[in-house]
Amino acid sequence: LVEATSGTTAAAVFTQNRVVAAPVEIGRAILATSHGRIRAVIVNSGNANCATGNHAYLACQQICRAAGRLLGLPSEEVFPSSTGIIGLPLPTEKILAALATLISERGATKKHVDLFTRAIMTTDTRPKLASVRFRSRKGTVTVLGVAKGSGMIHPQLATMLVMVTRPQTTLYCCWLPAIVVFA
């Protein structure tokens, strides 16, 4: 789970693949209707939530509604993300059962960032994360990047996920063929 403060703007670059998973289609729609106002990205690993028909869309919507309710956010501000095996139904009930614990144990420590980075890995051989701190006219700025993807990243980000965040964004331990940027 990635959660951002109110007023945070998000942007995404999506895969150009002709076949996309339900989270990609729903994510595109959410970004378009919210004008970039995304407060949370809910990520599951191990199942791509792809090629299972209507079940995939219903699962995304149900998980976004539940996460939004638990976070006190409208579901239209919760961006779905899945990575893993294609063609298997998403275990929605298992994810829903874990949401309350996930949210209650959230935090913004190095441990939480490390847990998140490892949680989104599928075929990756190592975690991918980097941060940089620099001075601007408005003070010191920290930018954190977390990525996932090592195999099927063509065409244009096919199964790659990159999240770039700033301090008001909190990574919580919990795929999406997109680059999601919170600013």
The pLDDT, as a whole number, for residue 115 is 86
Residue 84 has pLDDT above 80, yes or no: yes
The pLDDT, as a whole number, for residue 168 is 57
Query: Can you say how many angstroms the Cα of residue 75 is from the centroid of all Cα atoms in its chain?
Result: 14
Number of domains in the chain: 1
CA distance 24 to 160: 12
Q: Is 159 a catalytic residue?
A: yes
Output the average pLDDT for the chain.
82
Q: What is the Cα gyration radius of the chain?
A: 15
pLDDT digits (tens, 9 = 90+) for 152-177: 555 555 556 766 776 655 444 333 33
The pLDDT, as a whole number, for residue 67 is 97
- Paired strand residues for 131: 144
Characterize the bridge pairing of strands 178-182 and 161-165.
parallel
Q: Give the CATH number, domain containing residue 175.
A: 3.60.70.12
pTM above 0.75, yes or no: yes
Question: What percent of the chain lies above the pLDDT cut of 90?
Answer: 34
Sorting pLDDT into bands at 50, 70 and 90, what band is 70? very high
- Paired strand residues for 70: none
Residue 179 has pLDDT above 60, yes or no: no
Alpha helices in 35-91 (DSSP H): 54-71
Which range of residues forms the domain containing residue 147? 2-182
| Residue among 159, 165, 169, 170 flagged as catalytic | 159
Evaluated on CA atoms 61, 39, 164, 94, the torsion sign reads negative
Residue 180 has pLDDT above 50, yes or no: no
CA distance 48 to 46: 7
